[in-house]
Structure 1
Amino acid sequence: MLPGFGLSLGITLAYLGLIVLLPLAALAIRPWELGLSGVWRTLTDERVAAALRLSFGLSALAALLNAPLGLLIAWTLSRYAFPGRRLLDALVDLPFALPTAVAGIALTAIYAPNGPLGALAAKVGIKTAYSPLGIFIALVFIGLPFVVRSLQPVLQDLDREVEEAAQTLGATAFQRVSRVVLPALGPALISGVSLAFARAVGEYGSVVFIAGNMPMKTEIAPLLIVIKLEQYDYAGAAAVGLAMVAISFGGLIVINAVQTWLAGRGRR
């Protein structure tokens, strides 16, 4: 065993305790100042329920759309050589580099009714900015890099000889992709989708500008937490945050179970 185990373990536990566990414990304790009935009343409020449905529903839809989009982009960047590939590869990380507020302002300027893309959509009767569709676009934008970067290294390390062997055995291109490539990419794809979903659920800066923030319509859960904090309703804000953590944790358990099942199938 390498020396320094005690010190490393102590630093790790201190970090997890101060940065992760202590804030989560405070979040879990603070709502109960309202009592069980108060927490239930807060979470069943129509405005809170609508915000939670909007945040989690659109986050799930954006993550699901990012799955095929991210796979296509990762496949293109990994399997083909073309002029400008490195530039395109760098642009994938743009949502990581941009401050979230800057991303939100830029998306709003593009998709607003007087923006270049928003005006085109308005001509066919589609409202982009200041609607759930605008929130969906922002969540797709910030979640796509997670899927691409999760899949790209797996595609690059994938043994081409396995695909060639399948081809020599008479497998068509579709069969090679569906029966050889996609099963190997399954765990990485689920990991990328879960990261995109987790980022989208808690996203604030890039969404708040394009959402319109209309209660019961385009108000996201993180914004509702901020509103409750501004009203000094700390216990209510913590109750909404605790609900988001509980739902996200449940989703994480399901995702880990699916990943374990796929990994078990891959070893057979």
Structure 2
Amino acid sequence: MKFMNCNTSVIPGFTISLTVSMLYLSLIVLIPVAIFLIDATGMGLNKFIDTIVSERVIHAYVITFGTSLIAAIVNAIMGTILAWVLVRYRFPGRRIMAGLVDLPFALPTAVAGIALTSLYAESGWFGQFFYSLGIETAFSEIGIIIALVFVGIPFVTRTVEPVLHEFDEQYEEAALVMGANGWKRFTSIILPEIYPSILLGAGLAFARGVGEYGSVVFISGNLPFKTEIAPLLIMNQLEAYDYDAAVAIALVLLVFSFLSLAAINLYQRHVYQLRGA
């Protein structure tokens, strides 16, 4: 009997696959980003700096990065719990819940923004409860965080799920035999295995939040120096035909998001190298 060589490629060989991959990546990502950077360098350093350090832009950056970070932290916790429930438990409606996790990916962001605004406005189903407690949900930073949590939670859940599926429960059983309680088993055995994935999912949610526009623009209220986000400021500059200012503001978002994801990936690689050592 002849056995198939495991090194035999299923799809066309390395050269063709690499060429197609690089061409696709260049057309979809590299070339648009390169053109974007070229446009940014053509506006002049002084104008670029004056644009990104103006008081209104700085405040928009603070709102954007601050709310995105808080939403990413919330999603890191709740997304992990949701992944745990979907992997470890069997219950009626589990598949429906699993499908709902991906709903923010499929739902148009503008529709999500309108729905969230209706729910969390002062007269909304949820909003009237929060406003009675003195908590302004719509047209505030809290509303922005709610919208970013909505669009970001699938990133954490779908990143953590595969790791939990592959986790060997024998380690938990051994710890249980040794007398470790549930919290001790989770923090000492499970969390060290899944936290790189949690970090990656939270990083993706953060990057998505930094650039999110559709779901935030309605619930934020777009008040300058209060709830105005950087993506909305970019749109305002485009509508005013100030393309240089729009490019400058967007470039800061791009660089910050890229550096955040790069740092997370480097940290993940470092962790995996330590485990393999």
The TM-score with structure 2 as length reference comes to 0.92
Q: Which residue of 2 aligns with 1:104?
A: 113
Residue 24 of structure 1: SS of its match in structure 2? helix
Q: Which residue of 1 aligns with 2:16?
A: 7
| Residues 104-149 of structure 1 deviation map (CA, whole Å, 9 limit, x = unaligned) | 1100000011111111111111111111110000001111111111
Is 2:237 the partner of 1:216? no
Is 2:189 the partner of 1:180? yes
Residue 67 of structure 2: SS of its match in structure 1? helix
Q: CA deviation at 1:5?
A: 3.6
Q: Which residue of 1 aligns with 2:176?
A: 167
- The code of the aligned residue for 2:189 comes to V
- The code of the aligned residue for 2:57 comes to V
Is 2:268 the partner of 1:259? yes
Q: Distance in 2 between matches of 1:267 and 1:43?
A: 43
Q: Distance in 2 between matches of 1:266 and 1:253?
A: 20
Partner of residue 134 from structure 1, selected from 125, 140, 143: 143
Q: Do the aligned residues in 1 keep the contact of 2:139 with 2:222 (CA within 8 Å)? A: yes
Structure 1 segment 79-98 matched on structure 2, within 5 A = 79-98=88-107
Q: CA deviation at 1:4?
A: 4.3
- The code of the aligned residue for 1:8 comes to S
- Higher alpha-carbon deviation: 21-30 or 3-12: 3-12
Q: Distance in 2 between matches of 1:153 and 1:41?
A: 46
Q: Distance in 1 between matches of 2:181 and 2:123?
A: 48
- Higher alpha-carbon deviation: 78-87 or 123-132: 78-87
Q: CA deviation at 1:257?
A: 2.9
Is 2:130 the partner of 1:116? no
Q: Do the aligned residues in 1 keep the contact of 2:204 with 2:261 (CA within 8 Å)? A: no
| Residues 137-174 of structure 1 deviation map (CA, whole Å, 9 limit, x = unaligned) | 00011111111111112112211111111222232222
Q: Distance in 1 between matches of 2:150 and 2:264?
A: 22
Q: CA deviation at 1:57?
A: 1.1
Corresponding residue pairs, total: 268
Q: CA deviation at 1:7?
A: 3.2
Q: CA deviation at 1:175?
A: 1.7
Q: Do the aligned residues in 2 keep the contact of 1:130 with 1:213 (CA within 8 Å)? A: yes
Q: Distance in 2 between matches of 1:179 and 1:266?
A: 15
Q: Which residue of 2 aligns with 1:41?
A: 50
Q: Distance in 1 between matches of 2:168 and 2:253?
A: 40
| Residues 174-211 of structure 1 deviation map (CA, whole Å, 9 limit, x = unaligned) | 22111111111022111111111111111111111111
Q: Which residue of 1 aligns with 2:26?
A: 17
Residue 116 of structure 1: SS of its match in structure 2? coil
Structure 2: unaligned runs, 5 residues or longer: 1-7
Q: Distance in 1 between matches of 2:170 and 2:46?
A: 62
Residue 88 of structure 1: SS of its match in structure 2? helix
| Larger helix proportion of the pair | 1
Q: Which residue of 1 aligns with 2:5?
A: none
Q: Distance in 1 between matches of 2:276 and 2:192?
A: 11
Is 2:210 the partner of 1:191? no
Q: CA deviation at 1:260?
A: 2.5
The TM-score with structure 1 as length reference comes to 0.95
Is 2:61 the partner of 1:52? yes
Residue 34 of structure 1: SS of its match in structure 2? coil
Partner of residue 210 from structure 2, selected from 197, 201, 204: 201
Q: Distance in 1 between matches of 2:23 and 2:269?
A: 30
- Sequence identity (%): 50
